[in-house]
Homo-oligomer: A and B are copies of this chain.
Amino acid sequence: MKAGYLFDKKVKKSLKIGKAAARLFNKKGYLETNMDHIAAAAKMSKGGVYHYFSSKDEILHFVLTNYMDLILGELEEELFKIEDDSSKIQFIISRHIDLYTNNLAEAKTLLHEAHCLPGKYYNSISSKQREYYRIVANVLSEFLGGEAKTDKAQVTSLTFLLFGMCNWIYSWYDPKGAISPENLSKMIWTVFLKGVCRGS
């Protein structure tokens, strides 16, 4: 019982530090943020932060691992339950936008600061990103008629064009603005599956 309590406390504190750090990385940039800033933002002593993480790199790695695990978590199982391929694409887009808008600081940190990670940390994040790419590209390939009928370079390009629409929102989209995350998702999947519709 006590071990469980200590474990929960450790997870909670680590997540609290991670959340504060992600906000700072996003606002100031990773290179300009130091452990003093992170401790102040997490309302802890610097020694307290070092109790949970041995370095700033480790915090960035923790933040990005958690975000990528959210993105990958049960994605394939959920897709398996959906029958038709265009519904799978809609599901992927809605889920991507939903995770992004609910984890803004972490999502933006992934896009802007992942390259600051040293080799071994970077590789672990990068392999999770490749796994996400693989899952989405497979769905698209099936949608387009299966592996035998589709050109690999074309599927790669289309997958990244879709990621482009979904990820570029960091530069312009305000989840509290005129377009709700649900409407944005709908707009993206409509463009992707049918193109822009006149008079719609």
Contact = CB atoms under 8 A, between A and B. Distances in A.
A192 B161 CA distance: 10
Interface in A117-173: 140, 143-145, 149, 153-154, 156-158, 160-161, 163-169, 171-173
Interface string A161-200: 1011111110111000111000010011011111110110
A160 B145 contact: no
Interface residues of A, number: 38
A3 interface: no
Nearest to A144: B198
B160 A171 contact: yes
A198 B160 contact: no
Count the copies: 2
Contacts of A177: 153
A166 B171 CA distance: 13
A6 interface: no
A163 B191 CA distance: 13
Given A144-B196, A192-B195, A193-B196, A168 B160 contact: yes
Nearest to A189: B195
A31 interface: yes
Given A193-B196, A196-B192, A168 B167 contact: yes
**Most B C-beta atoms less than 10 A away, residue of A145, A164, A188, A192:** A164
A168 B164 contact: yes
B31 A143 contact: no
A145 B195 contact: no
A120 B166 CA distance: 31
B160 A172 contact: yes
Given A149-B199, A164-B166, 8 more contacts: A143-B198, A144-B196, A157-B184, A157-B187, A164-B164, A164-B168, A168-B168, A193-B195
